[in-house]
């Protein structure tokens, strides 16, 4: 017997247009019809004019890590950490999330390296047990200056839920931290180092990048080509950075730091991603290009919640208010269809027949979008 659900009186946001008072039908987890008229079926769910949006798709969030290590020196039980993270993700309207775990770090003894394998194993186990609301996929953030990077990355490429690998280089004086003052401000505050310790730290990072960066980058790119895994660049700032990313076959440009890099990335076929916190705050915390500026210039494709899950939906509603040329359907595509399709997830991200019924009900309360309900593959999960 077919499992059927009908929604009526909804403000449906499609890829290119909005349907007011529309209806949508789901059968066995797939959308089978989207109609402009009202449904007469008495058992239909009445949205009372609320928005019906596709479930949001998140390509890059490091939100998981803080649930495993909520305070310095504190480690939380792994299953509880995953469930807490998953609940926060679903409450933000995200139905597909790529948990972005760092492979390698800029400092020996980093917490993220201690919990790396535990985090991946815990997500996998929870997903296999069927206790997660959102679908969790994997994104490996590869710090190419890290000496032992490939010994960690190679075994993980066998995981069938690995969907994206990004290449990072957090060397002082370039990319995200092209301004060394901002680098010093960020890491000195993060690790509580003295000026002398910070000087040594920066010199060590420059030396590690020189010794390992080029070799590791080539190894990651070659491995991804062999495995057919999509690649993302990270914090590109110059034409040279973009040319290298294009030559390596990158499909997503994560958080380019300049207008030049964003524009050239798109000219080379990459989708440009910026952070939701950048949109909500009105600028980059590192002093780089603002997401709003890229949107105004037509150089923005994807928004990521980065370190604040709720920023994804909020950004999609903010952008049409801030940028006259962006409609709500276009903004919703930046948090649903565009990220999904950029990595080959063609079965979700759009409310149209044949797509998976990943959906969210949203009402706007005093200019704030509020997630009321969440469905994944037609099953209500929140």
User: Quick one: pLDDT at residue 286?
Assistant: 65
CA 23 to chain centre: 29
Can you name the residues that pair with 373 across neighbouring β-strands?
361
CA–CA distance, 352 with 97 (Å, rounded to integer): 21
User: Quick one: pLDDT at residue 181?
Assistant: 74
Q: Return the axis-axis angle of helices 78-91 and 116-128, rounded to nearest 10°.
A: 70
* Cβ neighbours around 16 below 10 Å, total: 10
Overall CATH class of domain 1-54+349-382 = mainly beta
User: Quick one: pLDDT at residue 106?
Assistant: 59
Per-residue model confidence as pLDDT tens for the chain (382 residues): 468 999 999 999 999 999 999 999 999 999 999 999 888 787 899 999 999 999 999 999 999 999 999 988 899 999 999 999 999 999 999 999 999 999 987 566 567 788 999 999 999 999 999 999 999 999 999 999 888 999 999 999 999 999 999 999 877 766 666 667 777 777 777 777 888 888 887 888 788 788 888 899 999 999 999 999 999 999 999 999 999 999 999 999 999 999 999 999 999 999 999 999 999 998 776 678 999 999 999 999 999 999 999 999 999 999 999 999 999 999 999 999 999 999 999 999 999 999 999 999 999 999 999 999 999 999 999 9
User: Quick one: pLDDT at residue 297?
Assistant: 96
The yes or no reply on domain 56-347 and CATH 3.20.20.60 is: no
CA–CA distance, 311 with 319 (Å, rounded to integer): 12
Domain residue spans of the chain: 1-54+349-382, 56-347
User: Quick one: pLDDT at residue 157?
Assistant: 96
Tell which residue, 221, 267, 225, 259, has the closest CA to residue 243. 267
Structure tokens at 227: 């495995």
User: Quick one: pLDDT at residue 1?
Assistant: 45
């Amino acid at each position: 017997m077919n499992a059927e659900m009908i929604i009526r009186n909804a403000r449906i946001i499609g890829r290119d247009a909005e349907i007011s008072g529309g209806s949508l039908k789901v059968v066995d987890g797939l959308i089978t019809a989207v109609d402009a008229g009202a449904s007469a079926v008495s058992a239909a769910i009445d949205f009372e004019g609320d928005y019906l949006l596709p479930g949001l798709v998140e390509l890059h969030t490091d939100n998981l890590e803080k649930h495993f290590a909520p305070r310095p020196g504190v480690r939380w039980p792994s299953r509880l950490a995953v469930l807490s993270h998953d609940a926060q993700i679903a409450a933000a309207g995200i139905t597909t999330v790529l948990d972005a775990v760092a492979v390698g770090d800029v400092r020996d003894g980093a917490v993220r390296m201690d919990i790396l394998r535990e985090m991946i194993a815990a997500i996998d186990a929870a997903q296999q047990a069927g206790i997660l609301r959102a679908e969790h996929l994997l994104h490996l953030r590869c710090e190419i200056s890290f000496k032992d990077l490939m010994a960690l990355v190679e075994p993980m490429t066998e995981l069938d839920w690995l969907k994206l690998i990004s290449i990072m280089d957090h060397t002082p004086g370039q990319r995200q931290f092209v301004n060394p003052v901002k680098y010093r401000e960020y890491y000195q505050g993060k690790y509580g180092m003295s000026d002398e310790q910070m000087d040594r730290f920066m010199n060590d990072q420059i030396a590690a990048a020189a010794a390992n960066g080029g070799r590791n980058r080539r190894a990651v790119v070659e491995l991804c080509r062999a495995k057919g895994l999509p690649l993302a660049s990270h914090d590109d700032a110059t034409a040279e950075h973009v040319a290298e990313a294009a030559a390596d076959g990158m499909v997503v440009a994560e958080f380019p730091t300049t207008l030049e890099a964003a524009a050239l990335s798109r000219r080379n076929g990459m989708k440009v991603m910026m952070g939701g916190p950048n949109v909500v705050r009105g600028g980059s915390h590192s002093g780089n290009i603002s997401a709003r500026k890229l949107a105004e210039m037509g150089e923005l494709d994807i928004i990521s919640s980065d370190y604040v899950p709720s920023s994804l939906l909020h950004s999609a509603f903010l952008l049409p208010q801030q940028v006259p040329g962006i409609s709500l359907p276009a903004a919703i595509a930046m948090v649903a269809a565009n990220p999904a399709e950029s990595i080959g997830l063609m079965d979700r991200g759009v409310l149209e027949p044949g797509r998976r019924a990943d959906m969210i009900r949203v009402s706007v309360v005093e200019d704030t979008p509020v997630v009321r309900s969440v469905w994944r593959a037609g099953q209500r999960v929140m």
